Amino acid sequence: MAEAHTGTPEKDDEDRLTEAEIAVHWKEESFFHPTPKFIGQANLTDPAVVESFQEKHFPECFRAYADLLTWDKYWTTTLDTSNPPFWKWFVGGKLNVSYNCVDRNLAKYGNKAAIIWVSEAEDEPVVSITYQELYVRVNEMAAVLRDSCGLKTGDRVTIHMPMVPELPVTMLACARLGVIHSVVFGGFSGEACGARIVDSGSRVLITMDGYYRSGKLLDHKVNADIAVKKAESDGTKVEKVLVWKRFSGKYSSPTPMVEGRDHFVDDLLKHHRGALVPPVSMPAEAPLFLMYTSGSTGKPKGCQHSTGGYLAYVTATSKFIQDIHPTDIYWCMADIGWITGHSYIVYGPLALAATSVMYEGVPTYPDAGRVWRIAERLGVNIFHTSPTSIRMLRKLGPDEPKKYHYHFKCMTTVGEPIEPEAWLWYYNTVGRREAAITDTWWQTENGGFLCSTKPALDPMKPGSAGPPMLGIYPVIYDEHGKEIPPGAGKAGNICIRNPWPGILQTIWGDPDRFVKNYYAKYNKDKNSKDWRDWPYFAGDGAVWAGDGYIRILGRVDDVINVAGHRLGTKELESACLTVPEIAEAAVVPIVDAERGRVPEVYVSLKPGVKAGPEIAEKVTKAIETTIGKIARPKAVRIVPDMPKTRSGKIMRRVLAAISNEMDYGDITTLSNPEVVEQIRVQVQGAGPVKKKTAPEDIRRFGETT
Ligand code: WT7
């Protein structure tokens, strides 16, 4: 039974463990309860709603989610399982996403802010866009895409833009036409963008000239040129590049426009002033967008999300878990270039007629009070961020929140496991012991939340995402497919037993990889048409406590979660191998106090090449160019040789142990065991072997390769 808790007073910084140490040692915490004030207004206080999602009501329970939307044509089949694991939701139904997020809000909320945008430059005025204005802008942009670019339903468009209102305008314009957007995180390099253009087969790229980051106006247009070049060298011709201007009427990039190929969006818009583009009525199962994410192999996966199922899922979870009402001022600090931004800045909140805040820049620019000033100034009452930002804000300004008069009713955390210590600061200092916290576990593939407490109904437990979401029935399996029941005190691989409306439909262009990646591991009968035989393998380790709360331990595959973002080791390694001097590369995660995990790189050199700092520098640069600054390694270690098995496989597990000062275990079966000690001394210095403990994901890293 949940035990009441009033919040622990904060300890002095001196006797605090580091975040990394806490992450290793943290224990089960006691429960915290939402305040009566919050419960009084929350969207999810009715236990009957929970009751209606019991497994015996599956899949019809999800009708309630789809009923939050406006359908042009009601569906005939709630869930079609005839071709496992390619599930189809709300089959026969038709709707348009931009209609649901914009048009339908006009009658009641036309004069209300849909988006409030905050520049990183604090002296630049805040921009509010009403639903009416959003409607006009989305229509005009849809006319640009349709009439000036010849785009039609089913075409793909790559969008590589920063956090500006023109980004959701562009996404909604695509959705209006049934054009599939693929938004690439603005911080990814031009090359990374180019690779995604090729995979999606986009012939139009939409970008912006520049944007602010840490006080500097960056040249972003240059990335479009690199992306187009990369795409072309890989066989995909980009016909048009549309360039938005960060400052109206002024081109802010030093990179020239390419005659015939590049067009300023504001020039094109002039031809479509006041245009009205009827929303295209799309089948529920038509793809809405692609979102690329990293997996164990080198190539990013284009997760394909649907129109009806996805929108229903993000709308309902925004309502029930983030507790969004139209009167709320909601701020999610994620970037729209990630799935969190798609689901919980754009689609979910706008479908609920919320006011969604967008911030362009770095949360701690120009100082650690910026976030709280924005919250105070705009009256933000729902806040959504990641453990990595919480750790950073706490480190740079532990007392800053106290200086500002904002008031949050609820707050979300997402992206990585949150240490109880960071959770408590979020709760006590940021949320002032009044805001309910939802720790939401999910993935790019999932569309929306999979585990979280139900705010108002469930107590919160620091460090645990909580019980499964409504209509989500998980199971934890060991490596052999044996179920580990709740309360067993053992970790295993978390899977979801049932389909749900937000699940990706497939990996774009690679259905076999989709089946292999997410379903093959625990499927016992390939021919079964029963969804019960197709558990979804999430790739995370987890423990299910006896009280029903699930604690996520991190990835069990070769994916490194850096500041809440996935990077594939293979992708990083192939980036290293673009440096001509490098013979072999191995990337491992190391525990980092702020960013959760960061990559550390081991390389060996080709014969005759001399080791030196310039080589390490080249490797770092190569990673930044092929992937982006987000992937910058903590260190590049040039080693005489890689530890290898007799069959020649690099033992990443051993390198991860050395980097994280863990016991590397038995190495007698390696072909070159002597190199391990050499590398250990090189990394840790002489002295006794360190035997620290490490989190589950680090301990298991490299097990499978
Ligand atoms: C991986 C997914 C969609 C959310 C943003 C990241 C980790 C995510 C939590 C959480 C513990 C979490 C998992 C997951 N993760 N949320 N609340 N607690 N771990 O999306 O890039 O697809 O990464 O992030 O390891 O598999 P993503």
Q: Where are the beta strands (DSSP E) in 276-409?
A: 282-283, 287-293, 301-306, 329-332, 355-359, 382-385
Res 23 pLDDT > 60: no
In this prediction, residue 179 carries a pLDDT of 98
Residue 24 confidence class, pLDDT cut points 50, 70, 90 = very low
Q: What is the mean pLDDT of residues 586-607?
A: 95
Which residues are CB-neighbours of 278 under 8 A, at least 6 positions away?
Answer: none
Query: CB atoms < 10 A from the CB of 234, how many?
Result: 12
| Listed residue (159, 196, 165, 389) closest to 293, CA to CA | 196
State which amino acid sits at residue 523: N
Atom of ligand 1 nearest to the CA of 552: 11
- Tell me the CA–centroid distance for residue 121 and ligand 1, in Å: 30
What CA–CA distance (Å, rounded) separates 462 from 31? 8
The phi and psi torsions of 560 (rounded to 5 degrees) equal -105, 125
Atom of ligand 1 nearest to the CA of 539: 26
Supply the residue whose CA is at minimum distance from atom 5 of ligand 1: 415
- Tell me the CA–centroid distance for residue 442 and ligand 1, in Å: 5
Of 414, 461, 504, 698, the one to substitute when testing ligand 1's pocket (max ligand atoms within 8 A of C-beta) is 414
In this prediction, residue 413 carries a pLDDT of 98
Q: What is the mean pLDDT of residues 114-130?
A: 98
Res 18 pLDDT > 60: no
Res 129 pLDDT > 60: yes
Of 416, 450, 560, the one to substitute when testing ligand 1's pocket (max ligand atoms within 8 A of C-beta) is 416
Percent of all residues in the chain with a pLDDT value above 90, rounded to a whole number: 88
In this prediction, residue 646 carries a pLDDT of 86
Res 15 pLDDT > 60: no
Q: What is the mean pLDDT of residues 6-22?
A: 38
Q: What is the mean pLDDT of residues 200-220?
A: 98
C-alpha neighbours within 13 Å on the C-beta side of residue 534: 22
380-to-165, 356, 456, 460 alpha-carbon distances in Å: 18, 9, 19, 22
| Listed residue (438, 331, 320, 315) closest to 382, CA to CA | 331
Of 313, 439, 552, the one to substitute when testing ligand 1's pocket (max ligand atoms within 8 A of C-beta) is 552
In this prediction, residue 700 carries a pLDDT of 85
Beta pairing, strands 491-496 & 506-507? unpaired
**Tens digits of per-residue pLDDT, 29-51?**
789 999 999 999 999 999 999 99
- Tell me the CA–centroid distance for residue 643 and ligand 1, in Å: 31
Residue 27 confidence class, pLDDT cut points 50, 70, 90 = low
In this prediction, residue 173 carries a pLDDT of 99
- Tell me the CA–centroid distance for residue 101 and ligand 1, in Å: 26
- Residue 110: which H helix or E strand, with range? none
User: Tokens at residue 647, please?
Assistant: 């069959």
Supply the residue whose CA is at minimum distance from atom 18 of ligand 1: 417
| Listed residue (265, 256, 171) closest to 219, CA to CA | 256
What CA–CA distance (Å, rounded) separates 466 from 416? 14
- Tell me the CA–centroid distance for residue 402 and ligand 1, in Å: 29
In this prediction, residue 21 carries a pLDDT of 40
What CA–CA distance (Å, rounded) separates 494 from 629? 31
**Tens digits of per-residue pLDDT, 296-321?**
777 899 999 999 999 999 999 999 99
Contact 217, 193 (CB under 8 A): no
What CA–CA distance (Å, rounded) separates 172 from 185? 17
Of 561, 595, 627, the one to substitute when testing ligand 1's pocket (max ligand atoms within 8 A of C-beta) is 561
**Tens digits of per-residue pLDDT, 390-408?**
999 999 999 999 999 999 9
In this prediction, residue 28 carries a pLDDT of 66
In this prediction, residue 2 carries a pLDDT of 38
- Tell me the CA–centroid distance for residue 414 and ligand 1, in Å: 6
Compute the CA torsion angle 255, 261, 267, 270 (nearest 10 deg).
-160
Contact 322, 442 (CB under 8 A): no
Res 169 pLDDT > 80: yes
Q: What is the mean pLDDT of residues 568-580?
A: 93
- Tell me the CA–centroid distance for residue 184 and ligand 1, in Å: 18
- Tell me the CA–centroid distance for residue 520 and ligand 1, in Å: 21
- Tell me the CA–centroid distance for residue 163 and ligand 1, in Å: 21
Res 16 pLDDT > 80: no
Residue 119 confidence class, pLDDT cut points 50, 70, 90 = very high
DSSP summary character for residue 236 = -
- Tell me the CA–centroid distance for residue 340 and ligand 1, in Å: 10
What CA–CA distance (Å, rounded) separates 488 from 483? 10
Ligand 1, CB cutoff 6 Å, lining residues: 293, 339-340, 414-417, 439-444, 465, 538-540, 552, 554-555, 561, 564-566
Atom of ligand 1 nearest to the CA of 339: 3
HEC profile for 155-203?
CEEEEECCCCCHHHHHHHHHHHHCCEEEECCCCECHHHHHHHHHHHCCC
Supply the residue whose CA is at minimum distance from atom 1 of ligand 1: 443
Contact 611, 605 (CB under 8 A): yes
- Tell me the CA–centroid distance for residue 444 and ligand 1, in Å: 8
Contact 353, 131 (CB under 8 A): yes
Of 321, 441, 494, 562, the one to substitute when testing ligand 1's pocket (max ligand atoms within 8 A of C-beta) is 441
Supply the residue whose CA is at minimum distance from atom 20 of ligand 1: 443
Res 431 pLDDT > 90: yes
Secondary-structure breakdown of the chain: helix, strand, coil percentages, each rounded to the nearest 5: 30, 25, 45
User: CA 93, 97, 101: angle at the middle one, nearest 5?
Assistant: 130
**Tens digits of per-residue pLDDT, 359-377?**
999 999 999 999 999 999 9
Q: What is the mean pLDDT of residues 203-232?
A: 98
DSSP summary character for residue 297 = S
What CA–CA distance (Å, rounded) separates 640 from 661? 20
- Tell me the CA–centroid distance for residue 96 and ligand 1, in Å: 29
Of 313, 386, 443, the one to substitute when testing ligand 1's pocket (max ligand atoms within 8 A of C-beta) is 443
Residue carrying structure tokens 């497939």:
506
Residue, of 298 and 328, whose pLDDT is higher:
328
Atom of ligand 1 nearest to the CA of 445: 22
- Tell me the CA–centroid distance for residue 417 and ligand 1, in Å: 8
Rg (the chain; Cα; Å): 25
User: CA 90, 93, 95: angle at the middle one, nearest 5?
Assistant: 115
Q: What is the mean pLDDT of residues 621-635?
A: 96
Burial 603-638 (b: 16+ CB within 10 A, else e): bbbeeeeeeeeebbebbbebbbbbbbebbebeebbb
Burial 507-542 (b: 16+ CB within 10 A, else e): bbeeeebbbebbbebbbeeeeeeebebbbbbbbbbb
- Tell me the CA–centroid distance for residue 564 and ligand 1, in Å: 6
User: Tokens at residue 587, please?
Assistant: 């990337």
User: Tokens at residue 239, please?
Assistant: 């016909």
Contact 99, 135 (CB under 8 A): no
In this prediction, residue 7 carries a pLDDT of 38
Q: What is the mean pLDDT of residues 496-525?
A: 97
Q: Coil, strand or helix: which one is 117?
A: strand
Atom of ligand 1 nearest to the CA of 418: 18
User: CA 331, 415, 445: angle at the middle one, nearest 5?
Assistant: 100
- Tell me the CA–centroid distance for residue 443 and ligand 1, in Å: 5
Residue 26 confidence class, pLDDT cut points 50, 70, 90 = low
Indicate the range of 407-411, 470-474, 495-499, 552-556 predicted with least confidence. 552-556
User: Tokens at residue 149, please?
Assistant: 């670019």
In this prediction, residue 704 carries a pLDDT of 60
Res 1 pLDDT > 60: no
Supply the residue whose CA is at minimum distance from atom 12 of ligand 1: 416
- Tell me the CA–centroid distance for residue 656 and ligand 1, in Å: 21
Supply the residue whose CA is at minimum distance from atom 6 of ligand 1: 415
